[in-house]
Structure 1
Amino acid sequence: DGAKRRANDELRERVPRVLDLFARHGAQDLVLGAWGCGVFGNEPRAVAALFARELHGRFRARFRRVVFAVLDAEMAADFAEVFATDVVPPATATSQWGAKQQWKAGHGGKKPGHGGKKGKAKP
């Protein structure tokens, strides 16, 4: 239908635009997702194919590593099939190759003592 076609057209424009932005800023390693494949209903194979076309074409060998962080097993399998690769299970806090520390409340938030106002720190 028309809405789905417009969404696909927008995605076709956004994928190369975002990859170009990463390239211009010197990014070497990318972590991407299954854009719009959840509530928006995009087909995982179609989204993967859009990325594959760009990553195997114009952006070939531009990035050192590109990872698609897709937690849904079926979607991950679709992406892996399009890219002719294997699915790597997600790391856990206790895995040897996973996170070095467990995530804690506030991790990645404001720095201690930062009042949230420019140029002023809490005493």
Structure 2
Amino acid sequence: TADPEAYGGLCLTDAARPVLIDGQPLRLRRDPMAAPTRSSGSSSTPRDRSTPSLSTAEQSLFQQLRGWRLDLAREHKLPPYVILTDATLYDIVRLLPASLEQLARIPGIGRSKLERYGEAILEQLDRAR
């Protein structure tokens, strides 16, 4: 079963025993809300400076979220990427989560960040709608 309190991890029950011990095949489905996968290689150009796949409206929302993040970072005397990375902001803009549950599925948003910033992120998205 899924365990949302464990950063999207799984909680194994006795039903998992045949898979773990006997080698029974395990079939999984793709999550329809899963965020797009990110490449593992680093890019010389940060995604926040070059987001060609964003529409004009998405680019505007991305910049709005970056401004909100910068204000929050200054208030807490933290670098902005500690609040949320540009890649996470990009995924938020692309997926437009409408609930904390949907927001929690985005890479870079664990339980702690969801508790700290989740409602504020959703407020920012509501303002843009």
Fold-level similarity (TM above 0.5): no
* Higher relative contact order structure (alpha carbons within 8 Å, sequence separation ≥ 6): 2
> Which of the pair is proportionally richer in helix?
2
Q: Specify the TM-score bucket, using the shorter chain as the normaliser.
A: under 0.3
* Superposition TM-score, scaled by structure 2 size: 0.25
> Which of the pair is proportionally richer in strand?
1
* Superposition TM-score, scaled by structure 1 size: 0.26
